[in-house]
Amino acid sequence: MPTTVELEQVLRGAELRVTRPRVAVLTAVHDHPHADTDTIIGAVRAGLGDVSHQAVYDVLRVLTAAGLLRRIQPAGSVARYEARVADNHHHVVCRGCGTIADVECAVGEIPCLTASDDHGFVIDEAEVVYWGLCPDCAADAASTAIA
């Protein structure tokens, strides 16, 4: 978990002004990987007090554009944010409860999937979302099927 001083250095390294809301949002995303905006707003308010929804949305947009956060939005889900941005990892999503976990890139270099036809694009990332049931939801489904 990065310290406040480290997060301030990250902001300066991205040529962004250091503000309390930016540090608070970075902290919240580090503390709550794959968090939705409401969770991030709650965490920021717990640390700073009254901060508007719009301020948090603006900070999320700026930090994502600067490459300090990654925005993911699996099908049927609200946008979520993570601070893990320096690699090309993927995600597994539970169809039951919506839990999201990181999945390391299985094979190869970035991107770990090679397009059969790149249509002239210079591809720098591949996004894979694995879907299934987390252990808790799978156990619930199994116990329901037995009953």
Judgement on whether residues 58 and 96 belong to the same structural domain of the protein? no
106 occurs within a structural domain? yes
Q: What CA–CA distance (Å, rounded) separates 42 from 20?
A: 15
Nearest to 7 by CA among 24, 42, 46: 24
Containing structural domain, residue 32: 4-72
Judgement on whether residues 58 and 14 belong to the same structural domain of the protein? yes
Judgement on whether residues 64 and 104 belong to the same structural domain of the protein? no
pTM: 0.83
78 occurs within a structural domain? no
Q: What is the pLDDT along the chain (147 residues), one digit of tens a residue?
A: 899 999 999 999 999 999 999 999 999 999 999 999 999 999 999 999 989 999 999 999 999 999 999 999 988 889 999 999 988 788 999 999 989 999 887 655 555 667 788 899 988 777 888 899 999 999 988 888 776
Judgement on whether residues 47 and 100 belong to the same structural domain of the protein? no
Kindly state the greatest CA–CA separation across the chain. 59
Judgement on whether residues 67 and 14 belong to the same structural domain of the protein? yes
Q: What CATH number does the domain containing 48 carry?
A: 1.10.10.10
The two structure tokens encoding residue 84: 């893990």
